[in-house]
């Protein structure tokens, strides 16, 4: 096919084909250099040890089914202060989710054991999704906020 183009157009086709190949190689080479120097996603990974990224890792692990002990063992490479900041943020999120879910109203309107079981399951789910199953402070905060003891959850 290329030979037919060269024969049909003569020498001019050969020159334009060479220019086209040179331009293509130049663009391809530039793309390779740029992706090597600036890897895709590399800009977002500059602050890999920030509490925000640790928070994201914690939530990801908890949603994957890891419990608190497994998550803490996985994130042992981080400083204790950073982990405590993440736990504090998670506790606040649990409380905010329960407040946003009208837990106080559900507690005050509950009259049957089944409704109380529903409330307990709701609290347990929030704690589990946050990966704070063994956290004593989140249970104290829930008891203080909602007046409900959660020792057996």
Instruction: Convert the pLDDT of each residue in 1-35 to its tens digit.
Output: 555 555 555 555 555 667 767 776 555 555 544 45
pLDDT of residue 47: 47
Q: State the Cα–Cα distance between residues 134 and 90, nearest whole angstrom.
A: 13
The predicted-structure confidence for 82-135, as pLDDT tens digits, reads as follows 999 999 999 999 999 999 988 888 888 888 999 888 998 999 999 999 999 999
Q: State the Cα–Cα distance between residues 37 and 42, nearest whole angstrom.
A: 10
**For the ranges 34-48, 72-86, 91-105, which has the lowest average pLDDT?**
34-48
CB 131, CB 66: distance < 8 Å: yes
Angle between helix axes 113-130 and 80-100 (nearest 10 degrees) is: 150
pLDDT of residue 149: 72
Per-residue exposure over 35-48, b if at least 16 CB sit within 10 Å of its own CB, e if not: eeeeeeeeeeeeee
pLDDT of residue 4: 55
Joined together, the tokens standing for residue 5 give: 């183009």
**Alpha helices, H only, 64-102:** 68-74, 80-100
Compute and round to an integer the Cα radius of gyration of the chain.
Answer: 29
pLDDT of residue 27: 58
pLDDT of residue 42: 41
Tell me which residue has tokens 């008891």.
143
- Greater confidence, 75 or 51? 75
Torsions phi, psi for 47 (to 5 deg)? -105, 55
Q: What is the mean pLDDT of residues 52-67?
A: 90
């Amino acid at each position: 096919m290329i030979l037919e183009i060269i024969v049909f157009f003569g020498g001019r086709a050969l020159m334009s084909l060479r220019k086209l190949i040179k331009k293509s190689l130049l663009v391809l080479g530039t793309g390779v250099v740029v992706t090597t120097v600036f890897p895709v996603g590399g800009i977002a990974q500059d602050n890999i040890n920030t509490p925000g990224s640790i928070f994201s890792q914690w939530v990801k692990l908890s949603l994957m089914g890891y419990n608190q002990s497994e998550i803490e063992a996985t994130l042992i490479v981080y400083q204790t202060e950073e982990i405590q900041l993440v736990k504090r943020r998670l506790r606040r999120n649990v409380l905010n989710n329960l407040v946003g879910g009208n837990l106080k109203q559900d507690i005050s309107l509950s009259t049957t054991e089944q409704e109380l079981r529903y409330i307990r399951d709701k609290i347990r789910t929030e704690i589990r999704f946050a990966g704070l199953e063994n956290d004593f402070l989140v249970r104290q905060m829930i008891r203080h906020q909602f007046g409900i003891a959660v020792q057996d959850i």
